[in-house]
């Protein structure tokens, strides 16, 4: 491949300038893909849209997505007719799954090629959106501008319209409806009374005190002058904003419980399905507020609190002290005139700079003891810029987060004060960790990519989909989220929840054949069995009892002892739901020494002593479909050998070296009693079961067997694959083989 210098020159033709072209040329994953695309086009220079079209598939490929080299498809020039970045993005998505050369018409339709939206059509669709949101706009005025504009942009008929014309039409209609902005739209006017008492210092001039505790008093008397309880009407309002970069895990379960549990305890209300559904209708995205965020960014610049910078990431790193943590120094653009920063910011908005070529930085204290106060820099818009402002827009009272965001609190408050908006309080709580596993999304992806687990919902992990797939009920997770974090405690909550939720089904993971010698070969007795002992609400079912049956290998051993109460030679044990106990009279073996069958005698229930324990069993009765043979039982154990895989003293080889290669054992040949089919039929009749059957699988069949709580993971026709959810509490007298 060409040298870095040659590639830098080539990539600059795409619109990547200076350091960005050099950075792309030095990227071992991106550079070959981008170079191939440029060579395939046969061009040496590109228009703006063309360059964007070439760069985007390259970057998407870097993100491990396979993109067709659609820009080189024979007989088709997909750049033709693509006049906007929106069309280029649509073209890239189309070519991820389709060959544009094979269906040019479908490509044109997917990318809006040749679509023209007239001024009259733009006006018509904008009017329709504004009319539908008129009541909200009249009530909230310009505070609702971002949401209304977002609705306009989501209108499918306007997807390929000229965005500038759409914005102009929207602005004109809003102005006609609401009139010019006045004191009702200025948060500063709302705090006039507070300012009259004593003007506060400018946010940028306030003396930094480093870390301060989060208190309601300090927030409610802030320069914004809006007491924390006043704006939300005295209610506690929290939120749970997950970032869509990975599966939710059990740590998020704690965050959900903390956020919603705190608000619920502060103001209890009836929980009805209607309210739950309404939450889904009210979910907002940061992008819904982009217009408001943009206007506040302009306000920051006008107030002298922010400026546009063109430094590279490496230059900013050095300005913050670099790897050596040396002295910090100001960016050369920090003191540029306000008018110049406003003009540059407008260029950013107009798309005249490539990604990372220009950024908006806040003029915070370079010498502050809090690292995040040195230079909170934003890229349209960053998490730090969006987080606090969206909390303010949504009237959040308590922004609850984990303790790694403690340093962010100061910048959170600074920005709210700087743009003079309502300021919530940020409170931190301890992050949830759990033994014998990892929760980091990056490490979870590493485990998946290296083949240690099959997917992010592998039941050995503690993501919420993995726990659901294993069969863990949500009640157990919610209970655990409010307690300590040792995995043993979680398993206790799982057992407690399953004890209330799961019906009992007799089964044997490692079945051993038992022949009752004093019963005739054709003996058949149908026994009524409760799905849950002493609880008729779970219902009953019938199971056959015959001369031949199966018990689990863990319920028998050849060497007896005084403290062992289960089956052994010459020892008597009870059978669940059977009137009389059985006594082992003989053990027959195969040539290799393994047990072929255990011979027992059924004792008279009237004269036999009451046995000290009872074991589960499954009868052999082909005419009744017994036993139900399970294709697999997946026995899951801890994914890591040590409680803390990060402990270098216990795990000197690093966390990956601690992976337990025996954390998954697949047991073949397990059997269950016929009540399992009845449970499957019952579940299939429920709403959840019907949905799963429509998707050709059944999952949430939980039941108890001799050694574990089990859940169906894949039930298709006669194929039964089960997961062990958790072991049951072991009987201290049971012993082992």
Give me the residue spans of the domains in the chain. Answer: 1-49, 119-178, 445-501, 504-626
State yes or no: pLDDT of 309 exceeds 50.
Answer: yes
The arrangement of secondary structure in 119-178, i.e. its CATH architecture, is Orthogonal Bundle (1.10)
| 119-178 and 445-501: identical CATH topology | no
Half-sphere exposure of 295 (CA within 13 A, CB side): 12
Residue range 513-535: average pLDDT? 94
pLDDT confidence of residue 31 = 75
Burial of residue 175 (CB within 10 Å: 0-12, 13-18, 19+) is exposed
State yes or no: pLDDT of 535 exceeds 60.
Answer: yes
**DSSP character at residue 249:** B
pLDDT confidence of residue 367 = 57
pLDDT tens by residue, 129-177: 999 998 888 888 887 887 888 888 888 888 888 878 888 899 889 888 8
pLDDT confidence of residue 202 = 44
pLDDT confidence of residue 16 = 62
Top pLDDT among 732 and 47 is at 47
CATH topology of domain 504-626: Ribosomal Protein L25; Chain P (2.40.240)
- pLDDT tier for residue 321 given thresholds of 50, 70 and 90: confident
Contacting residues for 21 by C-beta, under 8 A, at least 6 apart: 8, 9, 11, 12, 14
Predicted TM-score of the model (pTM): 0.45
pLDDT confidence of residue 571 = 95
Residue range 553-575: average pLDDT? 94
pLDDT tens by residue, 516-525: 999 999 999 9
**DSSP character at residue 325:** T
State yes or no: pLDDT of 453 exceeds 60.
Answer: yes
Give, in degrees to the nearest 5, the angle at Cα 585 between 584 and 591.
Answer: 95
User: Which two structure tokens, joined as six digits, stand for 360?
Assistant: 């908006």
Nearest to 148 by CA among 165, 125, 179: 125
Ranking 99-103, 550-554, 669-673 by mean pLDDT, the lowest is 99-103
pLDDT confidence of residue 668 = 93
pLDDT confidence of residue 683 = 78
Helical pair 85-97 and 48-62, crossing angle rounded to 10 deg: 40
State yes or no: pLDDT of 712 exceeds 60.
Answer: no
User: Which two structure tokens, joined as six digits, stand for 369?
Assistant: 């003891």
- pLDDT tier for residue 325 given thresholds of 50, 70 and 90: low
Burial of residue 289 (CB within 10 Å: 0-12, 13-18, 19+) is buried
For the annotated catalytic residues, the residue numbers are: 243, 431, 441
**DSSP character at residue 626:** B
Contacting residues for 204 by C-beta, under 8 A, at least 6 apart: 304, 305, 363, 364, 418
pLDDT tens by residue, 410-422: 778 888 888 788 7
- pLDDT tier for residue 398 given thresholds of 50, 70 and 90: low
Taking all residues of the chain, what is their mean pLDDT, rounded to a whole number?
Answer: 74
Helical pair 290-302 and 145-153, crossing angle rounded to 10 deg: 130
Please check whether the domain covering 445-501 is classified as CATH 1.10.1160.10.
yes
Residue range 568-579: average pLDDT? 95
Cβ 583 vs Cβ 594: under 8 Å:
no
């Amino acid at each position: 491949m060409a040298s870095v210098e040659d590639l830098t020159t080539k990539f600059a033709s795409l619109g990547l300038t200076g350091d960005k072209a050099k950075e792309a040329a030095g990227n071992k994953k991106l550079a070959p893909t981008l170079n191939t695309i440029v060579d395939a086009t046969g061009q040496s220079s590109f228009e703006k849209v063309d360059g964007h079209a070439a760069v985007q598939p390259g970057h998407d490929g870097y993100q491990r997505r396979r993109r067709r080299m659609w820009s080189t498809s024979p007989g088709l020039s997909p750049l033709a007719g693509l006049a906007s970045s929106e069309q280029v993005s649509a073209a890239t998505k189309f070519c991820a799954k389709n060959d544009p050369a094979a269906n040019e018409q479908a490509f044109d339709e997917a990318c809006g090629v040749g679509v023209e939206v007239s001024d009259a059509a733009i006006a018509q669709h904008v009017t329709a959106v504004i009319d539908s949101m008129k009541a909200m706009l009249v009530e909230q005025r310009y505070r609702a501008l971002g949401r209304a504009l977002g609705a306009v942009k989501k209108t499918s008929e306007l997807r390929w319209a000229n965005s500038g014309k759409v914005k102009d039409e929207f602005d004109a209609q809003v102005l006609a409806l609401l009139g010019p902005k006045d004191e009702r739209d200025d948060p500063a006017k709302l705090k006039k009374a507070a300012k009259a008492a004593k003007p506060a210092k400018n946010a940028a001039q306030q003396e930094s005190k480093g870390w301060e505790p989060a208190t309601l008093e300090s927030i409610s008397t802030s320069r914004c002058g809006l007491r924390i309880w006043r704006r939300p009407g005295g209610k506690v309002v929290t939120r749970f904003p997950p970032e869509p970069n990975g599966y939710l895990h059990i740590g998020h379960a704690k965050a959900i419980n903390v956020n919603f549990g705190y608000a619920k305890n502060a103001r209890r209300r009836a929980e009805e399905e209607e309210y739950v559904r309404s939450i889904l209708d009210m979910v907002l995205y940061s992008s819904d507020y982009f217009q408001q965020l943009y206007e506040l960014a302009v306000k920051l610049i006008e107030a002298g609190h922010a400026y546009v910078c063109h430094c590279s990431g490496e230059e900013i790193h050095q300005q913050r002290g670099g790897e050596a943590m040396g002295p910090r120094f100001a960016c050369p653009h920090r003191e540029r005139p306000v008018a110049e920063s406003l003009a540059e910011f407008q260029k950013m908005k107009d798309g005249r700079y490539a990604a990372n070529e220009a950024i908006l930085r806040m003029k915070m204290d370079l010498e502050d003891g809090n690292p995040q106060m040195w230079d909170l820099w934003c890229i349209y818009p960053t998490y730090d810029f969006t987080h606090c402002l969206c909390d303010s827009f949504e009237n959040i009272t308590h922004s609850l987060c984990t303790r790694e965001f403690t340093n962010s609190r100061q910048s959170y408050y600074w920005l709210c004060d700087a743009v003079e908006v309502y300021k919530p309080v940020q409170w931190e709580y301890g992050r949830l960790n759990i033994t014998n596993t990892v929760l980091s999304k990056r490490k979870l992806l590493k485990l998946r990519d290296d083949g240690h687990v099959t997917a992010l919902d592998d039941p050995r992990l503690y993501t919420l989909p993995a726990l659901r797939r294993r069969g863990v009920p949500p009640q157990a997770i919610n209970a655990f989220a409010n307690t300590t974090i040792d995995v043993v405690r979680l398993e206790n909550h799982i057992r407690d929840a399953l004890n209330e939720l799961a019906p009992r089904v007799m089964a044997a993971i490692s079945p051993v054949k038992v022949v009752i010698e004093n019963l005739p070969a054709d003996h058949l007795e149908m026994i009524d069995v409760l799905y849950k002992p002493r609880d008729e609400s779970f219902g009953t079912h019938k199971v056959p009892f015959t001369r031949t049956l199966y018990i689990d290998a863990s319920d028998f051993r050849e060497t007896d002892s005084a403290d062992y109460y289960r089956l052994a030679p010459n020892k008597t044990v009870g059978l669940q739901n059977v009137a009389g106990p059985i006594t082992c009279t003989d053990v027959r073996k195969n040539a290799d020494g393994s047990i072929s069958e255990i011979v027992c005698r059924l004792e008279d229930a009237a004269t036999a002593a009451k046995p000290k324990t009872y074991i589960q069993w499954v009868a052999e009765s082909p005419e009744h479909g017994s036993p139900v043979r399970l294709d697999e039982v997946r026995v899951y154990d801890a994914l890591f050998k040590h409680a803390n895989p990060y402990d270098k003293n216990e795990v000197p080889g690093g966390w990956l070296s601690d992976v337990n290669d025996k954390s998954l054992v697949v047991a073949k040949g397990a059997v269950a009693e016929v009540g399992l089919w009845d449970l499957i039929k019952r579940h299939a009749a429920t709403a959840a079961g019907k949905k799963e059957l429509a998707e050709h699988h059944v999952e949430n069949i939980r039941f108890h067997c001799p050694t574990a709580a089990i859940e169906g993971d894949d039930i298709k026709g006669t194929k039964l694959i089960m997961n062990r959810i958790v072991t049951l509490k072991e009987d201290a007298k049971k012993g082992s083989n």
